[in-house]
Chains A and B, each alone.
Chain A
């Protein structure tokens, strides 16, 4: 039940979801990935894509300014 943190606030398309996908593929069942991302395209797409690929999006929280935290579990 490990939790990994991934900060993609400084990344741009397509690396925002490429890096998320690579980290998600390393998760074991029960593990979580905490993704820090910016509003706009990353916030619109990262949770949706994770859901589409069968992951559980546990929460989407506002951190500060334009930064959000998304918790995804396998």
Chain B
């Protein structure tokens, strides 16, 4: 039997939507799916090596963007962000209720060998290089390669 496959396009850099990406991804990997996550645009924040705010980028404009977007630790929630207090409240609630936090889910995704890919075009726009990302990022891809990779499985856009 051919291995089942789930490919997720992680477009959003929101804390809650990234939590959905990694919950579905780790869950699928744990039940035997091959899982590919293609990070693009705001979603690239999740795989930056520097998880706080830093001036990543090629020129002054993308450096400012890089600082404003930040990394995994400073992702905002799509609702109830309260100037950055929202994600802290959610992390507290998740810990209190024994639900995996976003960081724990990302660690689990790495342990399960989920394939991380970065979008070449978005990286170019934002002045990001492969070295700006965590080493688990397997490759830098475009649309054609992603379609090829996701062929025969299920695809989600989050």
**Chain A residues close to B by CB (< 8 Å):** 10-15, 17-18, 20-22, 45, 49, 52-53
- The secondary structure that dominates the B interface is helix
| A14 with B100: CB separation less than 8 A | yes
With A14-B100, A22-B112 in contact, do A52 and B32 touch (Cβ < 8 Å)?
A: yes
Q: What residues of B have a CB within 8 angstroms of the CB of A52 in the complex?
A: 31-32
| B32 with A14: CB separation less than 8 A | no
11 contacts between A and B (CB under 8 A): A10-B98, A14-B26, A14-B105, A18-B29, A18-B30, A18-B112, A20-B30, A21-B30, A22-B108, A45-B31, A49-B30
The 5 lowest CB-CB distance pairs between A and B, nearest first, are A14-B27, A21-B30, A17-B30, A18-B30, A15-B100
Beyond A11-B98, A14-B23, A18-B100, list 16 extra A-B contacts (CB 8 Å): A11-B100, A12-B97, A12-B98, A14-B26, A15-B99, A15-B104, A17-B30, A18-B26, A18-B29, A18-B112, A22-B108, A22-B111, A49-B31, A49-B32, A52-B31, A52-B32
Most chain B CB neighbours (cut-off 10 Å) among A11, A12, A14, A49: A14
Total interface residues on B, CB under 8 Å, equals 17
Q: What residues of A have a CB within 8 angstroms of the CB of B26 in the complex?
A: 14, 18
Most chain B CB neighbours (cut-off 10 Å) among A10, A18, A22, A45: A18
With A10-B98, A11-B98, A12-B98 in contact, do A17 and B31 touch (Cβ < 8 Å)?
A: yes
Q: 8 Å CB contacts to A: which residues of B87-117?
A: 97-100, 104-105, 108, 111-112
Of the residues B27, B29, B104, B108, contact of A13 by C-beta under 8 Å:
B27
CB-nearest residue of chain A relative to B94? A12
CB distance from A36 to the nearest CB of B (A): 15
CB distance from A21 to the nearest CB of B (A): 4
CB-nearest residue of chain A relative to B31? A49
CB distance from A56 to the nearest CB of B (A): 16
Of the residues B23, B29, B105, contact of A21 by C-beta under 8 Å:
B29
CB distance from A20 to the nearest CB of B (A): 7
Q: What residues of B have a CB within 8 angstroms of the CB of A13 in the complex?
A: 23, 27
CB distance from B126 to the nearest CB of A (A): 30
Of the residues B27, B32, B104, B111, contact of A53 by C-beta under 8 Å:
B32
